[in-house]
């Protein structure tokens, strides 16, 4: 069975212009791209989101927006990934605009269960391994991922310190797939 690997973006990790790196990422056919650039203003995010959506659609790769609900309502990506504080206050009528395509960013079993109650269709659970994004914060590890996956009513995607080599143990722990950030910044185009 296929184990989907998603890209969650962080343009600060790329050594080349973001859209050029996105082209390289898309050439590798991730299961989807989650545009996470949370440090942008709404206006900047909409502008970038429009470009990313176009590239993703040309490549046939689903695009999900992260955090920016207003941008998602305007540009209609394939889905939206929300931090728990945003999901908690999201009006139900807005959630219905993304049927089957609302993800939640979770860091405990309690949050995963809450996300499911609030109508999330899937969630990320992080961070599994040590990661540069969370220096000094202990990872949750495979055993906690296993426990969360066993009790979650929605698919759980592992996030944090993920590389393709870790896929077998993530599958064994019950993850529905994985979301990678830093690894995508290291990849070159298959044609280069």
User: 54 phi and psi, to 5 degrees?
Assistant: -60, -45
Tokens of 20: 């050029």
Beta-bridged to residue 81, according to DSSP, are 66, 103
CB 6 within 8 A of CB 34: yes
- Of the candidates 66, 92, 107, 127, the residue annotated as catalytic is 127
Q: Is 66 a catalytic residue?
A: no
Tell me the residue length of the chain: 192
Buried b (16+ CB within 10 A) or exposed e, 88-124: eebeeeebeebeebbbbbbbebebbbbbbebbbbbbb
Tokens of 119: 């109508």
What is the Cα–Cα distance from 132 to 129, expressed in whole angstroms? 10
Q: What residues are labeled active site?
A: 127
């Amino acid at each position: 069975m296929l184990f989907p690997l998603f890209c969650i973006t962080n343009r600060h990790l790329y050594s080349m212009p973001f859209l050029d790196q996105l082209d390289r990422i898309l050439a590798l056919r991730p299961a989807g791209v989650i545009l996470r650039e949370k440090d942008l203003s709404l206006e900047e995010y909409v502008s970038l989101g429009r470009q990313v959506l176009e590239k993703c659609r040309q490549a046939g790769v689903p695009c999900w927006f992260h955090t920016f609900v207003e941008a998602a309502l305007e540009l209609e990506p394939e889905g939206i990934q929300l931090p728990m504080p945003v999901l908690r206050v999201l009006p139900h009528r807005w959630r219905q605009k993304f049927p089957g395509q609302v993800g939640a960013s979770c860091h405990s079993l309690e949050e995963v269960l809450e996300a499911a109650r609030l109508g999330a269709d899937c969630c990320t659970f992080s961070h599994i391994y040590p990661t540069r994004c969370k220096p000094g914060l202990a990872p949750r590890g495979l055993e906690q991922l296993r426990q969360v996956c066993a009790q979650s009513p929605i698919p759980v995607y592992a996030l944090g310190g993920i590389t393709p080599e870790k896929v077998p143990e993530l599958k064994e722990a019950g993850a529905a797939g994985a979301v990678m950030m830093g690894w995508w910044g290291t990849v070159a185009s298959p044609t280069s």
